[in-house]
Amino acid sequence: MKFLSRAEHRIRIWFSKRPIFYGFVGGVGVVLFWRGVWHTADALAVYVELMRNSSPTTDFVFPWDGPVSILIGTILLLFSGLFVSAFLGSEIAISGLRGEKSLTERIESEVHTETGAIHEIRAEVRKIRERLEKLDEKTKPPV
């Protein structure tokens, strides 16, 4: 595993100096991965149709095409360091690694915190207004 980790790190450093090529390889990896998923699902559908002794609706010449595409796409994405971020998004992955709350839980707690802060601010503003009114009364010249 250390070898793979070091290899990924070196590849990512190399790619970081070539962002257009990095984006191209990442895009090809994602497309190959999903193409493989699609073709594998088609191959399974053809297999099920053949097992039911009926003629399949698609002509599937190479049954290994889908798994090979998945494998090549996965390798490209893993070595470029894009596998997790391509499918989960970097923020979700990073927050999961940190053990943070989910986005909805975080938003709900932030709303409660902000609501409490707003109430505290209003109370302070009322106190300040009362003090200013008292000072105004004291400093008003007699009429």
| Most confident of the ranges 61-70, 99-108, 130-139 | 130-139
- Quick one: what percent of the chain has pLDDT higher than 90? 20
Token pair for 63? 């049954």
Same-domain check for residues 78 and 67: yes
Give the pLDDT confidence score for residue 101 in this predicted structure: 58
CB atoms within 10 A of CB 2: 6
Answer yes or no: do 63 and 119 share one domain: no
Residue 62, both tokens? 């190479």
Say whether both 77 and 132 belong to one domain: no
Tokens of 37: 């998923």
Rounded distance, CA 35 to CA 37, Å?
5
In the predicted structure, residue 24 carries a pLDDT above the cut 70: yes
Number of helices (H), then strands (E), in the chain: 6, 0
CA separation for the pair 130, 7 (Å, rounded): 68
Shared domain check, 106 and 95: no
Give yes or no for residue 72 having a pLDDT over 80. Answer: yes
**Spatial CA neighbour of 86 closest among 34, 124, 137, 121:** 34
**The model scores a pTM over 0.85:** no
> Could you report the per-residue pLDDT of 100-133, keeping only the tens digit for each?
555 555 566 666 777 778 888 999 999 999 999 8
CB neighbours of residue 58 within 10 Å: 9
94 and 108 co-located in one domain: no
Q: Which domain holds residue 132?
A: 101-143
Domain count across the chain? 2
Domain shared by 7 and 53, yes or no: yes
CA 122, CA 112: separation in Å to the nearest integer?
A: 15
